[in-house]
């Protein structure tokens, strides 16, 4: 059965979009994912859907990482459902083990600042359809747990995670979404995000900009 993925945290702030030019200019590297933080002290991250844990490990560049696989995912603007790989990085702790089958909303871990770089705590999330190479990412040049992807080849699988994320306003999680007003947010991500199920929206928009990201690569 097709499934809609939810946000990985309940009070989500998007602090950096997928592949903005501003990010590339500022950090001198492309952003092949999105960065998220919680608007509250709650740093828990949840499974986006019903899926399976492909791998967990400590990566020398992107820190503690959980790799998940989700099947038959609904993608915005597409009639075709897709199977995806998701990599959750910079985790402080991990609450799942490889091969574990998890339900949507299940705790995967706590996000933190594990990374090769000095970063503020945030979640770096990458999503692609390259099921044969779940450990490969173009974000890194060389590492130990995750593997370097050949960018030209990998790019046809990668996409903006925002295209498959929905705000859950259900019983398990009542989520909110907003974004910072930095140049690292692309215009597309300012559009309304689908809310599921169709209960009153809990979307709000930031009036204050959290002092994040200016020193946060990856």
Please select the residue that binds Zn ion; options are 6, 65, 124, 162, rule is CB under 5 A: 124
**Contact map string, positions 126 to 155, toward Zn ion, x by CB under 5 A:** ------------------------------
Please select the residue that binds Zn ion; options are 3, 12, 32, 35, rule is CB under 5 A: 35
* Piece of the chain touching Zn ion by CB under 5 A; list 63-71, 76-84, 124-132, 180-188: 124-132
Alpha helices, DSSP H, located in 116-188 = 151-154
What distance in Å separates the CA atoms of residue 212 and residue 33, rounded to the nearest whole number? 17
User: Could you tell me the CA-to-CA distances from 8 to 47, 122, 149 in Å, in that order?
Assistant: 6, 12, 24
What single DSSP character describes residue 154?
Answer: H
First to last CA, the chain: 34
Q: 35 or 163, CB closer to Zn ion?
A: 35
Structure tokens belonging to residue 61: 């560049």
**Contact map string, positions 37 to 76, toward Zn ion, x by CB under 5 A:** ----------------------------------------
What's the closest the beta carbon of residue 174 comes to Zn ion, in angstroms?
26
Binding-site size for Zn ion (CB under 5 A) equals 4
Contact (CB, 8 A) for 79 and 105: no
* Piece of the chain touching Zn ion by CB under 5 A; list 67-75, 78-86, 120-128, 171-179: 120-128
The three-class DSSP label of residue 125 is strand
What's the closest the beta carbon of residue 40 comes to Zn ion, in angstroms?
20
Task: Respond yes or no on whether the N-terminal peptide bond of residue 197 is cis (omega within 30° of 0).
Answer: yes
The residues of the shown chain that bind Zn ion, judged by CB under 5 A, are: 33, 35, 124, 218
């Amino acid at each position: 059965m097709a499934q809609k993925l939810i946000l990985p945290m309940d009070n989500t702030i998007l602090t950096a979009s997928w592949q903005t030019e501003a990010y590339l200019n500022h950090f001198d590297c492309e952003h092949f994912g999105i960065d998220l933080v919680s608007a509250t002290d709650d740093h828990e991250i949840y499974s986006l859907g019903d899926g399976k844990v492909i791998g967990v490990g400590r990566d020398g560049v992107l820190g503690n990482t959980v790799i998940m696989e989700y099947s038959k995912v609904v993608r915005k603007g597409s009639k075709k459902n897709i199977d995806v790989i998701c990599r959750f990085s910079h985790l402080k702790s991990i609450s799942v083990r490889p091969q574990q089958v998890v339900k949507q909303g299940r705790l995967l871990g706590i996000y933190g600042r594990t990374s090769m770089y000095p970063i503020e705590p945030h979640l770096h999330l990458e999503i692609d359809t390259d099921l044969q190479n779940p450990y490969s990412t173009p974000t890194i040049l060389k590492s130990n747990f995750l593997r370097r992807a050949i960018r030209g080849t990998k790019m046809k699988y990668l996409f903006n995670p925002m295209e498959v994320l929905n705000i859950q306003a259900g019983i398990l999680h009542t989520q909110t979404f907003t974004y910072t007003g930095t140049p690292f947010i692309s215009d597309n991500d300012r559009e309304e995000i689908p809310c599921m199920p169709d209960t009153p929206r809990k979307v709000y928009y930031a009036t204050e900009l959290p002092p994040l990201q200016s020193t946060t690569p990856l």
